[in-house]
Amino acid sequence: NAGVMQNPRHLVRRRGQEARLRCSPMKGHSHVYWYRQLPEEGLKFMVYLQKENIIDESGMPKERFSAEFPKEGPSILRIQQVVRGDSAAYFCASSPRTSSSYEQYFGPGTRLTVT
Amino acid sequence: AQSVTQLGSHVSVSEGALVLLRCNYSSSVPPYLFWYVQYPNQGLQLLLKYLSGSTLVKGINGFEAEFNKSQTSFHLRKPSVHISDTAEYFCAVSDDDASGGSYIPTFGRGTSLIVHP
């Protein structure tokens, strides 16, 4: 049973370009979470999605960031017009149920570098 | 809203030593509590979790944690660490289902554990 897949693992973008990060949850998981990790700052929640629905986007910046989880295919985190401050590791996690008691299963992350 | 405090951002110990990583949370009701480990260039993986019942929870790789309601703590320990335990450790808290709170866990800032020979 494959774990959570993320690609690309490393992404380099110039300022002003778009970054697209993909996440395929574990088989049978319909809940996806995106987090951003900066050095010495731990994980910051960005958005929680179920298939075709955004459930909680309270951690998403209001501009340039968007996320989707279509009926078919991976979840996508999209960052438009990237700036240097967007450089970070972005992690996707999935879980099988809507319940706080279920742990999250994390992907290996995408490390975005903006030059 | 939940908050999680991990005291000590860096801990360095010798192989074979006892290690204690501290985690305190703020909550008016007992939450669900988790410890995750992150090895270099990898995602987080679950070490152990507390939902209810026995306050001493045993996890993978010889780690254990104890839930202390009065001190609102969930410290992680291992009696004898190995070099391979060198990693980042995160404590996380979420509201229990009955409280109607968010399903989104709150993570601490992490503690970097270095085990040297």
Which of B45, B1, B49, B108 is closest to A93 using CA atoms? B45
Chains A and B: how many Cβ contacts under 8 Å? 61
- Please judge whether A104 and B105 are an interchain contact, meaning their C-beta atoms are less than 8 angstroms apart: yes
A91 in B contact zone (CB under 8 Å):
yes
Q: Which residues of B touch A40 (CB under 8 A)?
A: 9, 109
Tens digits of residue pLDDT in A20-79: 999 999 988 889 999 999 877 788 999 999 989 999 999 999 999 999 999 999 999 999
Residue B110: its pLDDT value, please?
93
Read off the pLDDT of each residue in B36-46 and give the average, rounded to a whole number: 91
Q: Could you give the CA distance from residue B87 to residue B110 in angstroms, rounded to a whole number?
A: 10
pLDDT at B105 (0 to 100): 86
pLDDT value, residue B51: 87
| Residue B60 CB neighbours (<10 A) | 10
pLDDT of residue B29: 72
The pLDDT, as a whole number, for residue B101 is: 58
Mean per-residue pLDDT over chain B, rounded: 90
pLDDT given at position B3? 87
Q: What percent of chain B has pLDDT over 70?
A: 91
State how far the Cα of A113 lies from the Cα of A83, in Å rounded to an integer: 9
Tell me the CA end-to-end span of chain A in Å, nearest whole number.
Answer: 37
- pLDDT, position B102: 62
Does pLDDT of B97 surpass 70?
no
Position A98 scores a pLDDT of 64
- Choose among A91, A111, A86: nearest CA to A32: A91
User: How does pLDDT run across B42-94, given as a tens digit for each residue?
Assistant: 889 999 999 888 899 999 999 999 999 999 999 999 999 999 999 999 999 98
For position B16, what pLDDT does the model report? 97
Which positions in chain B touch A4 (Cβ < 8 Å)? 43
B103 contacts A48? CB cut-off 8 A: yes
Partner residue opposite B97 with nearest CB, options A43, A101, A103 = A101
In sign, the C-alpha dihedral spanning B35, B4, A58, A87 is negative
- For the sheet containing A19-24, what is the strand order? A5-7, A19-24, A75-79, A65-68
B96 pLDDT above the threshold of 90: no
| A39–chain B Cβ distance below 8 A for any pair | no
A38 interfacial to chain B (CB closer than 8 Å)? no
Using the predicted structure, report yes or no on whether residue B10 has a pLDDT greater than 60. Answer: yes
The three state secondary structure string of B79-115 is CCCCHHHCEEEEEEEECCHHHCCCCCCEECCCEEEEE
| Cβ neighbours of A93 in B, within 8 Å | 43-44
Is A45's CB within 8 Å of B104's CB?
A: yes
**A21 touching B (Cβ < 8 Å):** no
